[in-house]
Amino acid sequence: MLAHLLVCEEFAHTRLVRMTHETAPFLPAFDDHQLLEIRGYHAAPRHGILNTFLAFGHENLALLKGLSDEQWQRTGRHEERGPITIGYVADQMLADHHREHLEQIQNLRKWLAVQPG
């Protein structure tokens, strides 16, 4: 799941940078399972994945912190979702998505804690 979050954070970074510097760029969809395999994240050490995920997260936060209200409304054309804003990427594609997976991790940890043995 952490590797999946890394791929999503990485793609969000690319999208945010493009939307910040280009006018309505085309934003292709991606197959996270294929990218996990191509990049070898399944076999990568957990700490390396976590560090890379955190690095992209910090870059994304730094980029977003520097945006004006007007820049938050800049758009791109997502291959599957159509026009999206930087605000949408930050809110829906990052924050809500990460929150969902963190809740799944917490639920799994609770479940594992009550399992016998």
DSSP string, 55-85: HHHHHHHHHHHT--TTGGG-EEEETTTEEEE
Question: Structure pTM?
Answer: 0.85
pLDDT value of position 17: 97
Contact 50, 2 (CB under 8 A): yes
SS3 103: helix
pLDDT value of position 93: 87
Per-residue pLDDT of the chain (117 residues; tens, 9 = 90+): 888 899 999 999 999 999 999 999 999 999 888 888 888 888 889 899 999 999 999 999 999 999 999 999 999 999 999 999 999 999 988 889 889 988 998 999 899 899 887
Contact 18, 72 (CB under 8 A): no
pLDDT value of position 38: 85
| Rounded Cα gap, residues 27 and 115, in angstroms | 43
